[in-house]
Amino acid sequence: MKAAREDRLESDSGQGGFPTRHVLLVLAIIAVGLVLWQTLKEQAAEPTPEAVPVEEVVVEPPPLPVAEDIPARPEQSAVQTAEAPEDVAPVLPPLEESDSMVREQLSAAGVGPELDRLEQQQNLIQQGTALIDSFSRGLVVRKLLPIDPPKEPFSVTQVEERTVMNPAGYARYNDYAEAIATLDIAVLVNNFHTMRPLYEQAYGQLGLNPDDFDNAVIRMLDRILATPEIQEPIALTRKSVMYQYADPQLEELAPLQKQLLRMGPENIRRIKAQARALRAGLLGK
């Protein structure tokens, strides 16, 4: 049967009919729209998966080495002065007002120009306590150090096709070692006992047990004393832009000890001599 004209799809344009290609295009758009709508509908109907709880992993820090207790100062060893006789403990200022007293004590101990930054710093006991705590853990918190870094850059040299720490660079730390070596240990011991209540108060403000502050001091000194003294040039390896110690045992040292190695064996010996004397003085040995 011949189809009537109104039943046929016109293929020619300009004759009043709707072009076939336009009809096909509209059908294709409608089909795509239906598919997308159905897909979105099915996705919306899918149940939202329940969030899987993630168990928080708490990494415990390694236990700290055991350290001896510093005994209280016997009354007979207290320094006698007109203002503070032997049987009367000195009156301490509030912790927040102790900076001037600390500066006087450091000056009496022989602190030189290498520590001039102490004159500009505030809350000296609080910062000193935090620094001792970090040292006792083998860490170096540089923003707490009351010294400026060496002006000369760290340098290396080649020895028998090995990259080694340049021994000439040890001299960068000579002034710091000299400043430590000339401190009056007896005055430092006396100052510790005098200011001990304030140090313990500041230690407690760090969220730590105030009674453990003396152990932190001894632990810090023990870490310094455990630093090896290496005479031969120390081999290094390059990792990215940083150098590492080629000897795995040296690389595993605490950051404090690795920093001391950069000062050279002679400077380490001078610092360790003072640490040994201070430890003996505090422990009454």
Q: What is the pLDDT of residues 200-216, one digit of tens each?
A: 999 999 999 999 999 99
CA dist., res. 265 & res. 145, Å (int): 22
- Percent of the chain residues past pLDDT 90, beyond the cut: 55
**pLDDT at position 121, please?**
81
**Other beta carbons less than 10 A from residue 228's beta carbon:** 14
Q: pLDDT of 107-128, one tens digit each? A: 899 987 766 666 678 899 999 9
| Domain layout of the chain by residue ranges | 84-283
Both tokens of 202, joined, read 């500041």
Q: What is the pLDDT of residue 47?
A: 52
The answer, yes or no, to whether residue 14 has pLDDT greater than 50, is no
CB 255 within 8 A of CB 139: yes
In one letter, which amino acid is 36?
L
Choose the weakest-confidence range: 40-44, 107-111, 131-135, 201-205: 40-44
Residues in a beta bridge with 162? 159
Is residue 56 over pLDDT 70? no
Residue type, 280: A
